């Protein structure tokens, strides 16, 4: 490459500019292309750029309550073998899946209101939602979900929730030293 050749460094600079101006999708596409090229001298920089851009995109999408889109973006980035910070991207992917799980559990609780699902299914949905919400820093929401289940007009469901709330989930930790 000569000093006037607009080759790869130009594409890398373009991706950085796009990232700085907020066009994260376009920046991610260029970074991914460059990071996937095993012969590219700037592969490591592109891989780091891809990771940074995708992390920002995923965090924004999660903040905008779009965990499905966040998961898609993260999975696409993780499909690039050279992407940097794989562990961080996997953690974000897990968070996106937790958000999707919460939505599914909440949907099961909502659908059960009018149809009267069996008490065990309703109680399971309530428990899973209430136990998952704190993982996302939503303790007050978890308390509301438990309260909803405990005060449910279906006494069988309320009793199942009471049993699930009282269940000890701590014995797993007894053998672990701090």
Predicted local confidence at residue 167, as pLDDT: 80
Residues 126 and 86 both lie in one domain: no
Q: Are 138 and 94 contained in the same domain?
A: no
Report pLDDT for 3: 44
Q: Is residue 178 in some structural domain? A: no
With contact defined as beta carbons under 8 Å apart, do 22 and 28 qualify? no
Average pLDDT of the chain? 88
For residue 174, the model assigns a pLDDT of: 57
Q: Do 92 and 149 fall into the same domain?
A: no
Residue 26: inside a domain, yes or no?
A: yes
Distance CA 120, CA 103 (A): 19
Task: Measure CA 104 to chain center.
Answer: 14
pLDDT tens figures, 153-164: 999 999 999 999
In sequence order, the 6+-apart residues with CB closer than 8 A to the CB of 167 are none
Domain end among 40, 67, 98 = 98
Which of 98, 132, 158 represents a domain boundary (last residue)? 98
Residue 7 has pLDDT above 70, yes or no: no
8: pLDDT strictly greater than 70: no
Long-range CB pairs of 134-141 (<8 Å, 24+ gap) are 135/98, 136/95, 136/98, 136/99, 136/102
Range of the domain at 132: 116-166
- pLDDT, position 5: 43
Is it the case that residue 55 has pLDDT exceeding 50? Answer: yes
Quote the number of domains for the chain. 2
Q: pLDDT higher for 142 or 116? A: 142
pTM attached to this predicted model: 0.82
Please report the pLDDT score of residue 9 as a whole number.
61
Q: Do residues 93 and 13 share a domain?
A: yes
pLDDT tens-digit profile of 82-126?
999 999 999 999 999 999 999 999 999 888 764 555 888 999 999
pLDDT category, 36, cuts 50, 70, 90? very high
pLDDT band of 177, cuts 50, 70, 90:
low
C-alpha 96: how far from chain center: 1
Residue 23 has pLDDT above 80, yes or no: yes
* Region label for 116, one of left (φ > 0), alpha (ψ between -120 and 50) or beta (otherwise): left
Q: Do the domain assignments include residue 109?
A: no
Determine the Cα angle at 101 with ends 97 and 106, to 5°: 150
């Amino acid at each position: 490459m000569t000093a006037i050749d607009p080759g790869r460094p130009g594409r890398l600079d373009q991706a950085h500019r796009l990232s700085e101006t907020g066009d994260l999708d376009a920046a991610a596409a260029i970074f991914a292309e460059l990071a996937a090229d095993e012969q590219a001298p700037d592969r490591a920089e592109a891989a780091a750029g891809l990771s940074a851009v995708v992390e920002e995109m995923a965090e924004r999408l999660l903040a905008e309550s779009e965990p499905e889109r966040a998961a898609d973006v993260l999975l696409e980035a993780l499909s690039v073998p050279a992407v940097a910070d794989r562990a961080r991207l996997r953690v974000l992917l897990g968070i996106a899946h937790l958000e999707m799980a919460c939505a599914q559990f909440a949907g099961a609780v909502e659908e059960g209101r009018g149809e009267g699902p069996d008490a065990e299914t309703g109680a399971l949905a309530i428990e899973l939602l209430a136990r998952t919400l704190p993982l996302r820093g939503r303790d007050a929401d978890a308390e509301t979900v438990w309260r909803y289940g405990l005060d449910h007009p279906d006494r069988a469901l309320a009793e199942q929730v009471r049993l699930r709330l009282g269940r000890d989930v701590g014995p797993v930790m007894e053998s672990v030293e701090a």
